[in-house]
Chains A and B, each alone.
Chain A
């Protein structure tokens, strides 16, 4: 039993052990996340769903090293996360592109910040843009692009320095429903092609089921893991899985968590 656990931990890309977060404010201590254990394997696509304020974003920011956990530790690869590190690329809810930079220059920003060799990474950035269906838009400015295109640029920027992990905090939350479905299919393809470990946070249960290998359901604040579901739908998934019985069953089961919490 112990031996199995250890091999699993050895292969884990992200190992979250007894991680909890409490915010200190002037009104006292506000617990945001109860101690959580979670192990994410290399190449796995994990989606976290939960009600607003359940600490989903806190979890993601701790994995990125943007804030320290109050308790426990997070390992990425074999290093304990204490500060921002090069193993992750992040996509936020809004694309956060710099309007004074062209699309290509936006994607190249992490390369510039980290001082990586331009001659190696510029072709990579161009290849990423092409893969995201943005070939030919390199010299455009962000405001000349639609919301979905901007978010795809943000994904390319998160991937340009070839991190092992792609962290996404409601990346399609600001998009309309139809664009969102297309972006989900697109993201699935990008993740499969780049073989990244992905952690996505969302409010949308169908989005979670469509994209995930595993879904982590968090409870109300202070967040704790309420359930973990494995999604066995075959890949690559087309948008028509949205009508499959297995898909409907899973979304209904997950939705029940939140309805129960409302009562």
Chain B
């Protein structure tokens, strides 16, 4: 009994327990309200579809994941240096930042078809769409991270006769790391959305394409199965990023408990 209680308290088990409860409620609601399967499929049908179509879903997950990762990497590769420039220069900030914020009020989903016009069907429009969604959170968080370095800390480094590059390398960059990572985490989940949007508008492969087609054919279990795969992609990528964060900034307050236990 005590062991069971301990198991329920394990942190990784809690979201799973909650998930099981939600699925049970879903099943319950379908039975009680007599929801027809062409509106909401029963959980068991989704599970069966997942089981039967697993190989196909997996092969469709590959292009989506690849597009997400490329889009995310582009967000990081462009976002962090741009944030550095914005945080480092008032002039650049005053020219670039307002426009960047303004550009975010344009619904990016509306732009996605344009990419198809420009780059045709295939990988490029998906990657660009993922990049477009993932880019902004990286910039905003990184700018905030670079700007929140304590002024006294910068003075301390200056008093040591540190060069601008040394200050950046030894103080500003590590100081901004936690903020950069929180931006990257938002970015990767949005990049999944971006990739799927890209697949919606112009693609013949990927989970987004499966979603599009299964809705058209009223294959709701397939559609739900595709959603599950999509969520899995998001969770796994997020988890990998979390792992990298632990390795890169083990000193940060959010990670410390583990460090002390390890030490």
Q: How far is the CB of A172 from chain B (nearest CB, A)?
A: 16
What string of 1s and 0s marks CB contacts (under 8 Å) between A135-153 and chain B?
Answer: 0000001011000000000
Q: What CA separation (Å) do A246 and B225 show in the bound complex?
A: 85
Residues of chain B with a CB closer than 8 A to A93's CB: 152
Instruction: Report Cα–Cα, A90/B161, bound state, in Å.
Output: 12
Determine, out of A71-79, A106-114, A126-134, A193-201, the stretch whose residues face the partner at the interface: A106-114
Query: Which residue of the partner chain, among B161, B166, B251, contacts A100 with CB atoms under 8 Å?
Result: B251
Is there a chain B Cβ closer than 8 Å to A66's Cβ?
A: yes
Q: State A65–B156 Cα separation when bound (angstroms).
A: 11
Interface majority SS on A: helix, strand, loop or mixed? loop
Complex alpha-carbon distance, A157 and B260, angstroms: 24
Considering the complex, give the chain B residue whose CB is closest to the CB of A83: B161
Number of B residues near A (Cβ < 8 Å) is 22
Interface-central residue, B157, B160, B174, B259, by most chain A CB under 10 Å: B160
Residues of A within 8 A of B150 (CB): 94, 96
Distance between Cα atoms of A143 and B263 in the complex (Å): 14
In the bound complex, residues from chain B placing their C-beta under 8 Å from that of A208 are: none
Question: With A and B bound together, what is the CA distance between A88 and B171 in angstroms?
Answer: 20
Which residues 235-261 of B sit at the A interface, judged by CB distance below 8 A? Answer: 249, 251-253, 256, 259-260
Interface residues of B in 115-169 (CB under 8 A from A): 150, 152-153, 155-162, 166
Contact B152 A96 (CB under 8 A): yes
The residue in chain B whose Cβ has the minimal distance to the Cβ of A100 is B251
Q: With A92-B152, A94-B152 known to touch, is A65 a contact of B174 (CB < 8 Å)?
A: no
Closest Cβ of chain A: how far from B251's Cβ, in Å?
Answer: 4
Question: Residues of B contacting A109 with CB < 8 Å?
Answer: 160, 170
Which A residues touch B170, using CB under 8 A?
A: 98, 109, 112-113
By secondary structure, the B interface counts as helix
> When A98-B174, A141-B251 are in contact, do A86 and B156 touch as well, CB less than 8 Å?
no
Q: Which residues of B contact A85 (CB under 8 A)?
A: 161
Question: Which residues of the partner chain A approach B158 to less than 8 Å between Cβ atoms?
Answer: 66, 84
**Residue among B155, B170, B259 with the most chain A CB within 10 A?**
B155
Binary interface profile of A, 44-79, with partner B (CB < 8 Å = 1, else 0)? 000000000000000001001110000000000000
Q: List chain B residues, Cβ under 8 A from A123.
A: none
Contact partner of A99 among B159, B166, B252, CB < 8 A?
B252
Q: CB-nearest residue of chain A relative to B156?
A: A96
CB distance from B148 to the nearest CB of A (A): 14
Bound form: Cα–Cα A65–B162 in Å = 13
Q: How far is the CA of A144 from the CA of B155 in the complex (A)?
A: 24
Residue of B nearest to A92 (CB): B152
Tell me the smallest distance from the CB of B43 to a CB of chain A, in Å. Answer: 46
Q: Is the CB of A84 within 8 A of B160?
A: yes
Contact of A113 with B174 in the complex, beta carbons under 8 Å: no
Chain A residues within an 8 Å CB radius of B256? 143
Residue of B nearest to A112 (CB): B170
CB neighbours of B166 from chain A (8 A): 113
- Chain A residues whose C-beta falls within 8 Å of the C-beta of B160 in the assembled complex: 84, 109-110, 113-114
CB distance from B21 to the nearest CB of A (A): 38
Contact A100:B249 (CB < 8 A) given known A94-B152, A112-B170, A113-B166: yes
Q: Is the CB of A66 within 8 A of B159?
A: yes
With CB as the reference atom, state the residue of chain A lying closest to B166.
Answer: A113
B contact residues around A113 at 8 Å (CB): 157, 160-162, 166, 170
A66 touches B155 (CB 8 A): yes
CB contact between A90 and one of B159, B162, B249, B252 (< 8 Å): that residue: B159
Q: How far is the CB of A214 from chain B (nearest CB, A)?
A: 24
Q: Which residues of A have CB within 8 Å of B155?
A: 61, 66, 90, 92
Report B175 CB to chain A, min CB distance, Å: 8
Residue contact B156 to A92, C-beta cutoff 8 Å: yes
Report how far A66 CA is from B153 CA in the complex, Å.
12
11 additional contacts (CB under 8 A) given A90-B156, A98-B170:
A61-B155, A66-B158, A84-B161, A88-B159, A90-B155, A98-B171, A98-B174, A99-B251, A110-B160, A113-B160, A143-B251
Q: What are 16 residue pairs bridging A and B, where the CB atoms are less than 8 Å apart in the complex?
A: A66-B158, A84-B158, A90-B156, A96-B150, A96-B152, A96-B153, A100-B251, A109-B170, A112-B170, A113-B157, A113-B160, A113-B166, A113-B170, A141-B259, A143-B251, A143-B256
